[in-house]
Amino acid sequence: MKKILIGLSIVTALGLSANDVMSANMKSMRDGLVEIQDGFLYNNKDGVLKGIAKIEEANKMFHDKESVAKYLPANKERLSSVALLSSKHLNSNLLEMKEYINQNQLLEASSVHSDVVRNCTRCHAIIRGW
Ligand code: HEC
């Protein structure tokens, strides 16, 4: 029985589709964004840093054109390099935010928040044909 259960859970683990992985990573990005926003609202620097780390980790799923292309609609695959750019910009926004926080320049750090959201939306706009 135990063996069957272990077998089943391995199958379930391997059965994770690209969509499940994407969904989990995007939930992480969303959670990270909320943590960043709450961090600024509640004056909690650690919360902001945790949110940044969460988004950085999830954003690793987009490391080259191919890793982006598989999520693009068939007629939009040529836009994979543009979509990849939004992921790269997102990383540099997060780095910038972290740097400002480390220098205790919270107002500057919080103004990067809108750039972060813009780069989330840029990629979504391509994918969703907005
Ligand atoms: C390089 C592309 C890209 C970037 C950058 C990106 N996303 Fe996404 N996101 C996707 C894809 C692909 C989907 C799935 C298709 C869809 O929902 O239209 C998605 C969907 C989502 C969803 C819905 C997930 C679901 O299960 O329906 C959320 C929430 C989300 N993203 C949050 C974010 C946040 C927050 C950021 C920025 C911090 C972000 N995304 C940045 C590509 C991206």
Ligand 1 atom with the smallest distance to the CA of 19 is 14
SS3 43: coil
Task: Please tell me the distance between residue 82's alpha carbon and the centre of ligand 1 in angstroms.
Answer: 15
58-109 pLDDT, tens digit each: 999 999 999 999 888 888 888 999 999 999 999 999 999 999 999 999 999 9
Task: Please tell me the distance between residue 4's alpha carbon and the centre of ligand 1 in angstroms.
Answer: 36
Quote the tokens at residue 87: 């992921």
Q: What is the pLDDT of residue 6?
A: 57
Indicate the pLDDT class of residue 11, thresholds 50, 70 and 90: very low
Quote the tokens at residue 98: 């972290």
State the architecture of 19-128 in CATH terms.
Answer: Up-down Bundle (1.20)
Query: If you compute the radius of gyration of the chain from its CA atoms, what whole number of angstroms results?
Result: 17
Domain boundaries, the chain: 19-128
Q: What is the pLDDT of residue 38?
A: 98
- CB-based contacts of 109, cutoff 8 Å, min separation 6: 40, 48, 97, 100, 101
